Amino acid sequence: MHKLKVFIVGIVINVCCIMTYAQNRVTGNVSDVNGESIIGASILEKGTTNGTVTDIDGNFTLNVSEGATLQISYIGYTTQEVVVTARPLTIILEEDTQTLDEVVVVAYGAQKKVTVTGAISSVSGNDLIKTPTGSIGNALAGKLTGVSTVQYSGEPGADAAEIYVRGVTTLNSSSPLVQVDGVERDFTQIDPNEIESITILKDASATAVFGVRGANGVILVTTKRGKEGKANISVTASTGITVPTRLLEFADSYQYASFYNEAQIRDGVNPNNVKFSPEMLTAFQTQSDPLLYPNMNWLDYILKDYAQQSQHNVNISGGNNFFRYFVSAGMYTQGGLFKTFDTGYDFNFDFKRYNYRANLDFNLSKSTELSLNIGGRVEDKNTPISAEDQNQLFRHLYWATPFSGAGIVDGKWIKTNPDVIPNPGSDGLNPYYGRGYNNKVGNTLNVDVQLKQKLDFITKGLSFNVKGSYNSSYAQTKSRSSSKAYYVAVKNDDGSMGYRKYGEDGTLGYGESFDKGRNWYFETSLNYNTTINSAHNLGALLLYNQSKYYYPGTFTDLPKGYVGMVGRLTYDYLSKYMIEFNMGYNGSENFAPGKRYGFFPAGSIGWVMTEEPFMEEIKNYVSYLKLRASYGVVGNDNTQDRRFMYIADPFYLNGSGYNFGTNVSGNRGGAYEGAKSNPDVTWEKAYKQNLGVDLYFLNDRLMTTFDIFKEHRRDILVVPSSLPSYIGMTLPVLNNGIVNSRGYEITLRWDDKIGNDFRYWISPNLSFARNKIVEQMEVRPNEDYLWRTGKPINQPFGRKFWGFYDETANERYKAQFGKDIADHSVVLKNGDAVYVDINEDGVINDDDKIAMGYTNVPEYVVGANMGFEWKGFDLSMQWTGAWNTSRMLQETLREPLGDTNNKGLLLYQYQDRWTEETASTAKLPRASITSKANNIVDSDLYLVDARYLRLKSLEVGYNFNAPFMTKMRLNSLRVYANGYNLLTFDVLKITDPESRTSDRPNYPLTRVFTVGLKLGF
């Protein structure tokens, strides 16, 4: 027994010796290239879950298998693999410039991307250049999460989209604050070749520093700067054409006349007394007499097939250790689509823009840097003078009837003879032809001077900054109005054609007007950044700013201004645990003394989980995981040009006057009372929450970002509507509005290579934002379903369409609802619209309207950026889509023949109308004049789905690498072709899904095709 025990103990000792022999104890130290110890670096035995992290001195100890390979990683550094040796390991990690040095622009500074805890999206200027549009805002569509754009117009020089950050969140203006190089400025007309990046700040932690200006989100535009090195010259030139994406289609003369006659007959007019006789119908069909019986497609007649567009830029950048520079000059031109018909002057739309910029940086000493930015543009814009204001040009064009004129014949403007066709309506030339033109030349100048002084002699990492900016704009508009004679065709007794002249050709008159604006901005700040024990990174910012704006929209003689303080504290431990606190303390002159300043705090935290030891075993699959959370309060003082709402009740002189006594001719002048004041009025407050996840897989080939957010907006300015109009008083503006918003954002990006030459990527994104009115001081409606409170902002309301009336309609309606069809205030005839009696009171009126559809601003916005590079070739495309958005068709798009029954008729209104033959497929009511009051009211008949998917931009290019380039001293040579708004898939079909369908239609949206050349020297 004793021998057995000795034998067992011997076996155990031998096994232990073998295990000790197989397990090597490895030690080592990890540092950076500067010799600084790296604390918390991950040490992992490859192919296992066996690992550890370095201590405060960068040292580690780990038992590993014989011949093991160690993987050493740390955020911001390139991962290394080292084979275990008997000696202690000395490992030096090199910075991964792609991750460590990647910074994003934030309010009043920049941060390393790995330490950002707020909700921020950004896009580079190189991506924006690929979209050939005149307005930078249009290029943002679908590129960034949290941003939705709606481009209503394609007018040259006036095609900027409306931009929303995380949707509409207030009953007042939801426009975001825009800053260019840290100063509030318009960015839509900047040359894209000047832009380094555009950053969108979305949550409270990112925007709280803007205080009363940040609640609607902030757009930060950063322009390019020179870098130390030899001079680089870039020359870009492109030219192309623009064409409308989609034009309205109108009925021709025969269809129009047939529709009109049918409407009269269905309304009870004797067929022998209809407006258009059989002879007229025949003439319209055969076009046997086009001067007396014209048949004009006016949009086709007055618009060209295409207009020209071009963009050119030359810039040079470079510098040395004392002076760095970026200097740029650019020109953009876009012609209009209108024909001028040899009037002797050009009244067509036309836009020319000349951009210039010089960003200069001087190192006055090792610790002092002076920066000077000079930028601006000159704009030259031409527009035709319209019959009414400029916003109604296309409205009047759409009113034109196809038989109202024959256009320009032998140099004469021919209108239809009313003796031949009674009341023919307005022709397509009348809104603008011969009326002259407006020419507006504007000059915008932006200047920044900034001094940065390091204060390392006080303490390392401390710096002082002072900045002053001046912005001015001036514009002169020359109005050259005129008139044009027109003719009507008259058939002479001998059968020949003569003309009767009306009016005279006028000479161009002259008038001018001026616009001006200027403002200044000043800020000074202290910045502090330091690293303690190579692990604790601390940053602080204390900033004072002040601004003044001259010639504001209201009370133009009184400047408006802002003053405020900004504070920021940031801390991270090993870029693993992060915390940030931001605050803005701002004052606005919109509010009463004692109520002008507010404190707006926000905080955020972040945690990079993949730097934890327990995540080591999955780092081959999940390479990066960061959790983010933020909460804060931000303000909004955008009162839509309402100022001084706190002062004593105002009154105004020289109103329309009053009538006193009897037998008094006319009113007598007097004063009238304005809206009541509110001394307690203040800004809106937005309480914002955000949770986010940044998750990268497979060595960062697949990158994802997910954010979910909520916002509670309160103290929104509203005007109570509880007083009846006969009281004669307007109640004051009150801070009683409340709106809640919520949503989420998802971004994916897959970036990979196949072989050495082929790289491809795809980056889809999805944004969702929805709002709900909680309080707006709404007067209680007659029915609960009429409440707009509880619905989204600008929720459409309308009657619920049931079907078209016929002999069996009442029986079918009663079978469905148990009641007869309600009184529609007209005698219903076959083909009339029948609406559901929502409140079952037997009468159809405004109390039977319900919420339906969605607003003009989409709730869902999707984008997809994809492309590839192969040797010298590359292709990139941007898809953009939107859904949960609707348009309520109005005026010409809804009402056949218009309100005067001699205006435009759309082709779909003719084709889709109810007839006995189309009763089962008709989409619109019967042709009628007397029943239009019933048939064209707001209803889901005219609420259309405006969802779409659009190929927003596409670029195909080739980068040459040939021997001749060396002889020409070319560093780069690129040829490319690109386009904008190339394909659209939608269900609307009548017009472009983004266009305005109200009574103020805009210039058509355009599709752009360009070819270009880029040279680098």
How far apart (Å, rounded) are the C-alpha atoms in residues 28 and 31? 10
How far apart (Å, rounded) are the C-alpha atoms in residues 691 and 712? 15
pLDDT higher than threshold 90 for residue 5: no
How far apart (Å, rounded) are the C-alpha atoms in residues 1017 and 1009? 27
pLDDT reported for residue 78:
75
Tokens of 126: 């190189």
pTM of the model: 0.87
> Which residue type is seen at 434?
G
pLDDT reported for residue 75:
66
pLDDT higher than threshold 60 for residue 19: no
Region 428-450: mean pLDDT is 95
pLDDT higher than threshold 80 for residue 658: no
- Can you count the helices (H) and strands (E) in the chain? 11, 52
**CATH 2.60.40.1120 domain position(s) in the chain:** 24-92
The rounded Cα 913 to chain-centroid distance in angstroms is 37
How far apart (Å, rounded) are the C-alpha atoms in residues 865 and 877? 6
DSSP state letter for 793: T
Torsion of CA 908, 994, 382, 173, to 10 degrees: 130
- Rounded to 5°, the CA angle 374-380-386 comes to 145
pLDDT reported for residue 509:
93
How far apart (Å, rounded) are the C-alpha atoms in residues 423 and 417? 9
pLDDT higher than threshold 70 for residue 693: yes
pLDDT reported for residue 16:
38
How far apart (Å, rounded) are the C-alpha atoms in residues 465 and 522? 11
Phi-psi region of 911 (alpha: psi -120 to 50; beta: other; left: phi over 0): alpha
Region 798-806: mean pLDDT is 96
pLDDT higher than threshold 60 for residue 205: yes
Which residues, at least 6 apart from 896, have a Cβ–Cβ distance to it below 8 Å?
Answer: 259, 263, 905, 906, 909, 910, 913, 927, 932
**CATH 2.170.130.10 domain position(s) in the chain:** 103-240+958-1016
Cβ–Cβ under 8 Å, residues 333 and 310: yes
| Enclosing H/E stretch for 809 | helix 809-817
pLDDT reported for residue 296:
96
Tokens of 891: 């005026």
pLDDT reported for residue 6:
41
Region 603-622: mean pLDDT is 89
Torsion of CA 604, 608, 614, 618, to 10 degrees: 140
Phi/psi of residue 371, nearest 5 degrees: -120, 140
> Which residue type is seen at 814?
K
Residues pairing with 318 in the sheet: 325
pLDDT digits (tens, 9 = 90+) for 321-330: 999 999 999 9
**Neighbour order of strands in the sheet with 405-409:** 405-409, 412-415, 486-491, 497-502
- pLDDT-derived band at 95 (thresholds 50, 70, 90) equals low
Find tokens 């609420």 and name the residue: 943
How far apart (Å, rounded) are the C-alpha atoms in residues 42 and 611? 7
pLDDT reported for residue 153:
93
Tokens of 759: 């790289």
Region 513-520: mean pLDDT is 94
Tokens of 152: 């209503």
CATH architecture of the domain 24-92 equals Sandwich (2.60)
How far apart (Å, rounded) are the C-alpha atoms in residues 398 and 302? 12
DSSP state letter for 658: B
- pLDDT-derived band at 22 (thresholds 50, 70, 90) equals very low
pLDDT reported for residue 456:
93
pLDDT higher than threshold 80 for residue 76: no
How far apart (Å, rounded) are the C-alpha atoms in residues 882 and 194? 30
pLDDT higher than threshold 60 for residue 2: no
Region 494-515: mean pLDDT is 91
What angle, 0 to 180 degrees and rounded to 10, lies between the N-to-C axes of helices 278-286 and 253-266?
Answer: 160
Q: Which range, of 363-372, 639-648, 825-834, 920-929, averages the lowest pLDDT?
A: 639-648
CATH topology of domain 103-240+958-1016: Ferric Hydroxamate Uptake Protein; Chain A, domain 1 (2.170.130)
The rounded Cα 548 to chain-centroid distance in angstroms is 27
pLDDT higher than threshold 50 for residue 318: yes
Look at strands 218-223 and 177-180 and give their pairing. parallel
| CA torsion through residues 633, 639, 643, 647, sign | negative
Which ranges of 915-986 would DSSP assign to H, the alpha helix?
A: 932-935, 963-967
pLDDT reported for residue 914:
97
How far apart (Å, rounded) are the C-alpha atoms in residues 585 and 601? 9
Secondary structure class of 308 (helix, strand, coil): strand
| CA torsion through residues 173, 177, 180, 183, sign | positive
Find tokens 């289609």 and name the residue: 249
pLDDT digits (tens, 9 = 90+) for 147-159: 999 999 999 999 9
Find tokens 């031949």 and name the residue: 420
Region 303-328: mean pLDDT is 95
Return mean pLDDT, the chain: 90
Share of residues in the chain with pLDDT > 90 (%): 72
Q: How far apart are the first and last CA of the chain?
A: 93
